[in-house]
A and B are shown apart, each in its own frame.
Chain A
Amino acid sequence: MLTIISVSVIFLGLLFYVVGTTKITRICDAAGIRPHSLFMYHGSFPAILAVAPPLVLLSLWVVADDIVFNMMLEARFPEGLEVEGRQTILILLAQIRNIAEGIIVGQPDDWIIGLADTLSNWRNTSDTIIAGITVGLSVICGLFGISRVKPEFRARNAVEALLLTGLGICSLIAIITTIGIVFSVIFESIRFFKLVPPLEFLTGTVWNPEFEGAARAGSGQEGMSAYGSIPLFVGTFLISIIALSVSVPVGLFSAIYLSEYASKRVRGTVKPLLEILAGVPTVVYGFFAALSVAPFFRETGGMFGLDVASESALAAGFVMGIMIIPFVSSLSDDVISAVPQSLRDAAFGLGSTKSEAIKKVVLPAALPGIVASIILAVSRAVGETMIVVMAAGLAANLSLNPLDAVTTVTAQIVTILVGDQEFESAKTLSAFALALTLIFITLVLNFFALQIVKKYREQYD
């Protein structure tokens, strides 16, 4: 249905293009004048009008129809029906939808079958209506466009204005995405904080969402599930620190060597090789961490009599560190290269050795940029998901021992939200609260890094 409507709208657009150009040609030929704009624009103007608004309307409807139908169906649920929570309603709605599409499982209640029939009726009607509205709108807009086509009509300016509007709307997608992200976490987070006080979430030291949280209030189950996020943040922090202690020295020294010492050829070979590390998908690192690095650490630790967990923070952090090396090195390389040559000349002119010039002049001058790149690396480490999911495990231990198993914010989000979820349960909602804090942390880090970079740029501009 959608395809038929879209194709006919586009066909109408082509038709209006032809009508527009024909009309202007005829008028101008008869009067022996030249129009203000090229014929093409006189055709495009009605064509764009005939195509764009109907298609926008159509896509809005595609997005909105299920939402509208669900609301209408809910209003028709039989009175006295006992519904526990949003989750049951969603299941019922899904059942009705399935039946309407011909998938019947078991013996549904009569009222459900009735509503399914209603739904298919609505769908058929709405299809007809939307088809009518869309095509009608297309014709009206197109005709309006045609009516404007006159030799003195500034068709080019009109078409350009339409085009710019389109471009402007596209650029709003970035804002819409941000709003979408905020919306998708904020409401669920608020609902979570109604079940679990924010203070408990932020300061609690036990994370144990395994027990059904919806039954918390007054069912005698209080205390069985716990939503103290401290262990997750400590785990995230621990793994990030391990990752940074691998990636910062290696990345920074590589950057220094490549930008200050290496010949063009070495630089040209090594730099792309390091970049490969950044291009490897995180799931590959996760596999590598879980399958090769973690057992290696476990065995090595065993040789020294250390008890290393098979899913240790060390393995996950170490591999994450490898992943971030090119991130640190290429950002640091940029800032080091941005230090003006005149400063190096000055240092060499005084008789510095190369390392003295680097340590005492180049690095201090590049320090803000290097700090910014490290902050960005932290934000990468905090947001990294697959490595920790695959290699760090899910044990919410409150521990700073790198040999223990810990869990992170991202790993918990994934574990909670993958697969079937129970809506309305504190467990599911907690993932959104975790996501909210995660977004907050990364944005703050990003903000500081950009601020530093900005200041740093001003220094040399």
Chain B
Amino acid sequence: MTDIVETIVNCDGVSVFYGENRAINNISIDIGKQSITAFIGPSGCGKSTFLRTINRMNDTIEGCRIEGRVTVDGQDIYDASVDVVPLRAKVGMVFQKPNPFPKTIYENVAYGPRIHGLARNKSQLDDIVEKALTGAGLWAEVRDRLQDSGTSLSGGQQQRLCIARTIAVEPQIILMDEPCSALDPIATSKIEALMSELSNEYTIIIVTHSMQQAARVSQKTAYFHLGNLIEYGDTKEIFVRPKDPQTEAYISGKIG
């Protein structure tokens, strides 16, 4: 393992259960600030489940139970005193399928700042929306039609709108759950470029199905298999010199 400049997420012995089924098995991992970490692995390996433990999105699933410790910024997020609202404001999430609200583009982005009260007045809100849309690389495309429905955009634009919606709250961490799996290659490359840019400001954790994507965007990669964390390290290392035979088998396409 390489050193981490500054740890922001720390997981210690995390297991996740769906009813009786153990989906995640005793995972410990440290994630560094302002970097991109990729979770890879075959489908059903638990990488998305694990990602959702970091902002407690698993809470919305009935019968889901978590053991172990997850800390963000040194705070145990499963502590009874923790409120998920500020947690999720701090750890934002972008989902697999673009899911804009059936509202205008403007309202989609303004939603987060509005509920959290981040803007004092209309012009501040306008600024936040513009900044977020610019940050998501969408401003130029939508500046003239902010009042159009968010669902009227193309798939790639919708996903960037969802990213804009997330960064409008100015989180510290952005979780991305296979954000490009529903997109075509051109849209994908735009999102990847955006991720690199965002990583200057935000910590990004991305679950991806595509090894190439992990190799292209991430600094660190974690390989999951059947609910276990098999290997975690610098992306270059993992792809060039995997230590674990299972990782190697996956990377070389023997399992998938």
Task: Please say whether the chains A and B touch (CB closer than 8 A).
Answer: yes
Cα separation A365 to B114 with both chains bound (whole Å): 18
Q: Is the CB of A356 within 8 A of B99?
A: no
* Chain B contacts with A in 69-103, Cβ cutoff 8 A: 84-90, 92-95, 97, 99-103
Q: Is B62 an interface residue (CB 8 A)?
A: yes
A348 CB to nearest chain B CB (Å) = 6
Given contacts A346-B99, A346-B165, contact A351 B111 (CB under 8 A): no
Q: Is A177 an interface residue (CB 8 A)?
A: no
A23 CB to nearest chain B CB (Å) = 65
Number of interface residues of B (CB under 8 A): 31
Cα separation A17 to B90 with both chains bound (whole Å): 81
Which residues in A have their C-beta under 8 angstroms from that of B111?
347, 350, 360-361
Q: Of all chain B residues, which has the CB nearest A361?
A: B101
Q: Is B240 an interface residue (CB 8 A)?
A: no
Q: Is the CB of A346 within 8 A of B88?
A: no
Q: Is B57 an interface residue (CB 8 A)?
A: yes
- Of A264, A352, A360, which is within 8 A of B85 by CB? A352
Which residues in A have their C-beta under 8 angstroms from that of B93?
345, 349
- Of B55, B60, B90, which is within 8 A of A344 by CB? B60
Q: Is the CB of B57 within 8 A of A345?
A: yes
Q: Is B116 an interface residue (CB 8 A)?
A: yes
A213 CB to nearest chain B CB (Å) = 55
Q: Is B140 an interface residue (CB 8 A)?
A: no
Q: Is the CB of B115 within 8 A of A352?
A: yes
A336 CB to nearest chain B CB (Å) = 14
Which residues in B have their C-beta under 8 angstroms from that of A356?
115
Which residues in B have their C-beta under 8 angstroms from that of A140?
none
Q: Is the CB of B112 within 8 A of A342?
A: no
Interface 0/1 of B140-159, CB less than 8 Å to A = 00000000000000000000
Q: Is A353 an interface residue (CB 8 A)?
A: yes
Q: Is B180 an interface residue (CB 8 A)?
A: no
B193 CB to nearest chain A CB (Å) = 22
Q: Is the CB of A350 within 8 A of B89?
A: yes
Cα separation A459 to B111 with both chains bound (whole Å): 21
Residues of A in contact with B, size category:
20 to 34
Q: Is the CB of A346 within 8 A of B101?
A: yes
Q: Is B229 an interface residue (CB 8 A)?
A: no
* Chain A contacts with B in 201-254, Cβ cutoff 8 A: none
Q: Is the CB of B57 within 8 A of A348?
A: yes
Q: Is the CB of A350 within 8 A of B166?
A: yes
A320 CB to nearest chain B CB (Å) = 33
Given contacts A342-B99, A346-B101, contact A351 B60 (CB under 8 A): no
Q: Is the CB of A349 within 8 A of B62?
A: no
Q: Is the CB of A351 within 8 A of B99?
A: no
Cα separation A171 to B89 with both chains bound (whole Å): 57
Q: Is the CB of A349 within 8 A of B101?
A: no
Which residues in B have their C-beta under 8 angstroms from that of A283?
none
Q: Is the CB of B57 within 8 A of A351?
A: no
Cα separation A351 to B174 with both chains bound (whole Å): 12
Q: Is A180 an interface residue (CB 8 A)?
A: no
- Of B88, B92, B102, which is within 8 A of A365 by CB? B102
B106 CB to nearest chain A CB (Å) = 14
Which residues in B have their C-beta under 8 angstroms from that of A181?
none
B95 CB to nearest chain A CB (Å) = 6
Cα separation A348 to B94 with both chains bound (whole Å): 11
Cα separation A356 to B88 with both chains bound (whole Å): 14
Which residues in B have their C-beta under 8 angstroms from that of A353?
85, 115
Cα separation A340 to B99 with both chains bound (whole Å): 9
Q: Is the CB of A346 within 8 A of B162?
A: yes
Cα separation A342 to B93 with both chains bound (whole Å): 12
Q: Is the CB of B102 within 8 A of A349?
A: no
Q: Is B191 an interface residue (CB 8 A)?
A: no
Which residues of B does A touch, CB under 8 Å? 55, 57, 60, 62, 84-90, 92-95, 97, 99-103, 111-112, 114-116, 162, 165-166, 169, 175
Which residues of A does B touch, CB under 8 Å? 264, 340-353, 356, 360-361, 364-365, 459
Q: 10 closest A-B pairs (Cβ-Cβ)? A: A351-B89, A349-B93, A351-B88, A342-B99, A350-B112, A346-B99, A356-B115, A351-B85, A365-B102, A352-B115
Known: A348-B88, A351-B92. 19 other contacts (CB 8 A): A340-B99, A342-B99, A343-B99, A343-B102, A346-B99, A346-B165, A347-B101, A348-B57, A350-B89, A350-B111, A350-B165, A351-B86, A351-B90, A351-B116, A351-B169, A352-B85, A352-B115, A360-B115, A364-B103
Instruction: Show 16 A/B contacts (Cβ-Cβ < 8 Å), sorted by A.
Output: A342-B97, A345-B60, A345-B93, A345-B99, A346-B100, A346-B101, A349-B93, A349-B95, A349-B166, A351-B85, A351-B89, A351-B90, A351-B92, A351-B115, A364-B101, A364-B102
